[in-house]
Structure 1
Amino acid sequence: MKAKKLKKMLFLIVLSAAIGLSGFCFSGCSAGKKTSETAEATVYYGLEDNIQDGVILHCFDWTFKQIKEALPEIAKAGFSSVQTSPAQASYKGNSAWYFLYQPNGFYINDSGLGSEEDLKELCAAADKYGIKVIVDVVANHLAGDHSGIDSTLMPSKYWHNYGSLSDYSNRYEITHGDIGMPDLNTEDSYVQNKVASYIQKLKSDGVDGIRWDAAKHISLPSEGSSFWSTVIDSDMFNYGEILGSPVDNNASQAASLIEEYAKYMSVTDSSYSSTILNAFTNGKVSLKKGNWTVHSSVPANKIVYWAESHDTYSNHTNEGGWTKNVDQNIIDRAYAIIASRNGATALYFSRPSQTDKDSILVGEQGSTHFTSPEVAAVNHFHNACNGEDDFYDTDSTYNTAYVSRKSGAVLVLGSDANQSVSVKNHLTTPGTYIDEISGNVFTVTEDTISGKIGSTGIAVFYKVDAEKKGSTSSDQ
């Protein structure tokens, strides 16, 4: 019998050196038991049924078969969802990644990731693990060479003719200008129905969510377009790529626009994500608590964060691809903060083996660093503490950023490692805990959180609610 879809898909994993996870304890545990617990303890973690409640592994350029084969490791690492690159028909060959973002139309074709049947098989297999599948969709534009695109979309009425986008302070230009490829007339009902039909096809194949590429370049209802109200399937998870702001140099208009986008989908907050990473890159911690959640009325449960994205890694450095030069451990420190927040989901990027834009090829599986103890521990924390209030704070004495939740905390050093800290406790239940990454003991009182952060510069501890231990995914 097919595995039951539970609100919490709980996995019981026996601790082993192979995955490098350390035990934890809470109030009532004895620090003297740490050695035996580290060797024999079990770790519980729940994969969230709602994509927004969990965290997402971006399997950038992986084939559908590669993702399918990695599902056991993805589940163990605590990722509730995987995101694929675009499945739309595009140039196929020994092609660079960006050709997938120059599609020929709104239909599935093997452009290097696999066939439609491969996608169906991935979705069916992922469902057994309680993992959801998100597919990247390019709807703002098609390939520049119109000789290869869907012939029904060739007439000029289906295209904007504004010219190249150059002024990001001009909202009309943002939504009607070309961003390297000819811009589709997304206000047109025929174009909208083409996109909507493609979304329904993906849904029928088992896809659970859509990532909308270049969403800020597609008009909103307040701007005279019914695109989003037509194409969005509210039964699926949707999130839009909003790089920077929907419009520059106009804070009130930007806030109004992002709030409207959030009525239809979750939205990326690349500005706050970059703020957190920039601080760690400079060996410091950020004092800022958010961007869209602070400067607009977008709630945390409509936000998507990342430490790095495919754009910040895979483009040339002068095109914004700067994180390729940032050490993975610094990326992980930023991820530890953004992925431990309540409400928001976070995207973890599987880095390609190559760094040059033209050498990053479709179909080549990326890094498996997502299985590392520090990344997995953050994900387990995120799942275990779902729904609990959070409090983000920093401590200048210890150069530490941390997120305090009722059931535990995540602490990250701005630089260095193997350092004892004592910071103010805001929400965490007093008790004795074990850092899942290092096995170090942390003591929590009403006033302080104290312990030694290990070699990764990240510490994660939490307790699991007894109610979350009662169900597993083994019901076949």
Structure 2
Amino acid sequence: MQGSREGKVRLSTHTFAGMANALTRKEPPHDDQPELMTRAERRRAARKARAAKTWKKVAAGTVAVATLFGGMGVASTALAADRDSYQDTIGNSSFEAARNQYGLTKHMKNGAILHAWMWSFKTITQHMPEIAAAGYTSVQTEPMSKIKEVAANGKKFTENWYYVYQPANTSIGNFVVGTEADLKEMTATAHKYGVRVIVDVVANHFTSDWNAIDPDWQNKEYFHKRTGCDGPNGEINDYSNRYKVTQCHLLGLWDLNTQNQAVADRMQKFLKTAVADGVDGFRYDAAKHVELPTEVFDNKQSNYWNTILKNGSQFQYGEVLQGDSGLDYKAYANMFRDNSSDGGGNTASNYGKTIRAAVGSNNLDVKMVKNIDTGGASEDQLVTWVESHDNYANGDKESTGLTDYQIMMGWAVVGSRRAGAPLYFNRPKGSGGTNPQFAEQSQLGDAGDDMWKNKSVAAVNHFRNAMDGKGENLQNCGDKSCLMIERSTSDGIQNDGVVIANMGGDKSLSGMETTLDDGTYPDEVNGGQLVVSNHKIVSGTAKGGAVSVFYVKGESDPNVSVEAASKEFSSDNVKVTLRAQDADNLKYTTTEGESGSFTDGKVISVGKTLSIGETATVKVTGTAAKDGKKVKKGQALSASVTVKKVEVPKQNLAAQYSTNKVGMGVKKTINFNAGKDASIADWDSSMLIAQGAANDDPRVYRPNSMYEVPIDLYALYGAYDDDNLYLMWEMTNVQDVVDTGDDYPLSQGHLWQTQNLPFHIAIDTKDDSTCIGNNGGLQTGGSLWASNITWGGEQKLNNVVTISTNGSNGPWIYKGDESGLNSKAAYGPAANAATNTKKSNIKFGYGNGILSKDVIGIDGGWGENNGRFIGDMKAENQNKAKWVNFNEKGHNSAQMDDHYEIAIPLEEIGTTADRIASSGIGIELAATFGLSAMDSLPYDLAMNDNADLPDTGSQVNNSFEKSDDDMFSVKMANIGGEEPPVETKSVKIDQSDYSVDLSNGVTT
């Protein structure tokens, strides 16, 4: 249960609807809080909150400062854990014998998790033999705290399940899961079968009903005050503001005062009791709503996590839903890992969106499903899924409509991939898909449907366990409806194999290249076999509408390996992953001079010192930790990989696109008023530095996305004087010609009027001493504003300026060093000493109308079947695309098109007018719909590479460009310097020859 993605407050039904009964009663006065609303009022407020666009960058103002935490240890050394879960399981010969019998992974972070949703402890105990046989390393239970019980609801699911997530105290046992004695019996049984137990914990809040809270906890010092929060009843109303996310109340629930050490000590005692009862790990509900130890609010630091995580468990992870702009996802993942004896991390919620979009559209394109948003964490710090209980059970029914078949296909991908610990959510019996969300064929405490032990699902689990530690390769088989996940190491066929999710018809695999070692691989699910020779498939079929699991069970030899993200790269560096299985004394060296020790999964950056054409080699060594078939214990092991830096691939675009064709901007003072109706009278065509095209925004490449407002950049102009850098850009909306039937893009076309979406302006001041490394990724991992945007290839940057379309969010100026961008802004709309943010004097304005007299672009929309295909803006396709002058087709540019302009003080970006005059300044402008870039100037083909794919971050009808990964690599537009302009060219428009002045699109 948590908030947020893509600027919307994601409300969890089990916190909202769970206030039934409590919301109509009056509470005793507490901290001057307002009266609680009625349930009907609450529903209306929640609907308004869902509709609100709330993304705002947290960098200054009320944002908390992350400071170095020190000197705060566990409150009481007397609370040392009595049980060490790792030693009690992996260190126990009986447990190990059972685990090996069922082939379950040694490390919980690598194995599949069965989320036995709403099962009682006794029900789990009864099914333990089947759980082990189905290949689940761990089973996850519901929260075990005492909870509020509404007797009239009995044990039905509807309007009842969410009470489990609303504790009343910290004692073990409730009407869903059973008693503490049941828990002890369940964990003991699990260990007999080599299975480990994860318990869900709600450590952020208690129930909203004060009268239901145990009297021993009815102390206002144990809960955060309801004052100081803008939402009703002290609730969260801004998920980009870390103070509000962590200190305000999640939809009226009583938010624990996590700065109070007594609260921390009581929660730790609760968790240590559970570990003593046999629990091996914890999942923390709403974890991002509890502040990190490094965050300071109201001049207080919190020792909460540092206290409660020291409980003796071996694996702990947090429900840290991705997408909040102020969230340090990596810090949470590292905190859970570092406070567990054998791993931990966060939920990878974004990847669940990706998988649901893929199976929901029968599109398993590698480009869409390969990348996992790790938020800067490592892949073994993730818990992945097709769906979670929130996705399924909440009121928005995000995943409820998925069928068993689609879930099976999604699990084939999630369960077989190397990254993370995949969690399989067990739905209530007879529910979901085409059936009701809660069919009430089972009740709270019962096992759900049988899909968790379906033959294909179990086979994927068995495959995963056998492939533990193996490399990974994804490729499509025949078309985008068929996906192969290959897992292998070059050590023979033992525990090598491939899972195939095929949502199309039968497909012959003969002739396909493969990473698998030569041999014959049987299919556990469908029978048949796959034969490989010389790393090519000789024979084998992927059954249509089915999951195939080809692999050879066996004992792998100890090995080390090294994997490069790409063996050729053109960006600042390339990521290389170091691998080891059953090996120790692990070392690595690079020909660039870096060396050190490593553990399995360590990622290093290689190639920073290389010039084009040069190579670097990474070598890993180790010794075998045990005997294998071909390798003896103590035998030396080694592996290496060589990477090469190559030229940035050229992006040959149609003649309409240009960069510095006219010149390098001019030195001139530009006068305009900030805000609405900013004048563009001081601009002229001599200042054009980058020309785009109309109607090349990603939505036109989808068959059903024309209802979206276009994010369509057209032209970029630049100037400077002794004090400021000036930029002006034009945006077009040719919906009035292309698709008059979709009214929304017509009536809501002015982004500055109706939207609050970020522009990102990357700036290269030509100063190598302040150049930002890591391709502009954050120093803490991830990307600026969770945008998935980076800058590589021919682009260097020293600053990124970010501001929203209506100016209400920003301006922000970000800087950094060789390790990446600093997530704390150097300049912002207000000064903040805590984050070292200074007040910016940037001026930003916008208005209706553009300088260009004609609007030239590619006609049409609605995807490939209607003539719009990926790459139609390339030079090679210029005669295939229908280039038109939209103004000649009736486009009302004066009404539909807009301009934006900005004045950036040179001092704030670290340059001078003299430097610009002599060396120039580089500019790359990106326009977004909240996350990834949708369009850019200069135009980069990264804006188009995934335009035809369904989006994984919002709705499948939308384009994947809305949330995909974008690395800009084209040459930036330049202002100043001494590079000469290039002649204009002609372009064929609407089947007639026009001579086009590319400075402003005027036909002559």
TM-score per shorter chain, which class? Answer: 0.7 to 0.9
2:194 counterpart of 1:130: yes
Query: Does 263-272 or 370-379 show the bigger shift?
Result: 263-272
Q: Please point out which of 182, 186, 199 is paired with 2:258.
A: 186
Among the aligned pairs, what percent are the same residue?
34
Q: 1:398 to 1:184 in 2, by over 3 A?
A: closer
**Contact in 2 for aligned 1:343/1:386 (Cα 8 Å):** no
- 1:96-129: CA deviation from partner (whole Å, max 9, x where unpaired): 2111001101111232221111111111111110
| Distance in 1, Cα, partners of 2:510 & 2:481 | 11
- 1:434-460: CA deviation from partner (whole Å, max 9, x where unpaired): 111100221223443452222552111
- 1:69-88: CA deviation from partner (whole Å, max 9, x where unpaired): 11111111111111111111
> 1:419 Cα shift?
3.1
- 1:346-380: CA deviation from partner (whole Å, max 9, x where unpaired): 11111102444695842132012222110011000
Structure 2 gap segments, 5+ residues each: 1-91, 296-300, 489-495, 558-626, 628-1004
> 1:65 Cα shift?
1.2
**Contact in 1 for aligned 2:190/2:197 (Cα 8 Å):** yes
2:451 aligned partner: 369
Q: How does 1:71-470 map to 2 (within 5 A)?
A: 71-92=128-149, 93=151, 94-95=154-155, 96-160=160-224, 161=226, 162=229, 163-180=234-251, 181-223=253-295, 224-232=301-309, 233=311, 235-245=313-323, 247-248=324-325, 253-254=328-329, 259=334, 262-264=337-339, 265-286=344-365, 287=367, 288-293=369-374, 295-296=375-376, 298-316=377-395, 318=396, 321-353=397-429, 354=431, 355-356=436-437, 361-395=443-477, 397=479, 399-406=481-488, 407-413=496-502, 415-421=503-509, 424-449=512-537, 451-454=540-543, 456-466=545-555
**Contact in 2 for aligned 1:404/1:425 (Cα 8 Å):** no
Residue identity matched to 2:450: T
- 1:252-302: CA deviation from partner (whole Å, max 9, x where unpaired): x55555555554432110101210221111110142433343x51x11111
Q: SS at the partner of 1:399?
A: strand
Q: SS at the partner of 1:107?
A: strand
Q: 1:305 to 1:8 in 2, by over 3 A?
A: farther
Q: 1:4 to 1:284 in 2, by over 3 A?
A: same
Q: 1:150 to 1:358 in 2, by over 3 A?
A: farther
Residue identity matched to 2:523: D
Residue identity matched to 1:289: K
**Contact in 2 for aligned 1:301/1:343 (Cα 8 Å):** yes
TM-score for both structures, normalised by structure 2: 0.41
1:14 aligned partner: none
| Distance in 2, Cα, partners of 1:198 & 1:57 | 23
**Contact in 1 for aligned 2:428/2:449 (Cα 8 Å):** yes
2:94 counterpart of 1:4: yes
Structure possessing the higher radius of gyration over alpha carbons: 2
Q: 1:205 to 1:311 in 2, by over 3 A?
A: same
Q: 1:426 to 1:183 in 2, by over 3 A?
A: farther
| Distance in 2, Cα, partners of 1:183 & 1:358 | 33
Structure 1 gap segments, 5+ residues each: 12-44, 471-476
Q: SS at the partner of 2:553?
A: coil
| Distance in 2, Cα, partners of 1:268 & 1:109 | 26
**Contact in 2 for aligned 1:87/1:111 (Cα 8 Å):** no
Moved runs in structure 1, 4+ residues, more than 6 A? none
Q: 1:242 to 1:396 in 2, by over 3 A?
A: farther
Q: 1:103 to 1:423 in 2, by over 3 A?
A: farther
**Contact in 2 for aligned 1:384/1:464 (Cα 8 Å):** yes
Query: Does 393-402 or 95-104 show the bigger shift?
Result: 393-402
> 1:312 Cα shift?
1.0
Q: SS at the partner of 2:103?
A: strand
Query: Does 181-190 or 195-204 show the bigger shift?
Result: 181-190
| Distance in 1, Cα, partners of 2:203 & 2:511 | 47
**Contact in 2 for aligned 1:374/1:456 (Cα 8 Å):** no
**Contact in 1 for aligned 2:272/2:312 (Cα 8 Å):** no
Residue identity matched to 2:305: W
Q: 1:116 to 1:50 in 2, by over 3 A?
A: same
Q: 1:189 to 1:256 in 2, by over 3 A?
A: closer
Q: SS at the partner of 1:4?
A: helix
Q: 1:443 to 1:106 in 2, by over 3 A?
A: same
Note the aligned Cα RMSD (angstroms): 2.5
| Distance in 1, Cα, partners of 2:479 & 2:454 | 29
Q: Which has the higher helix share?
A: 1
How many matched pairs?
Answer: 426
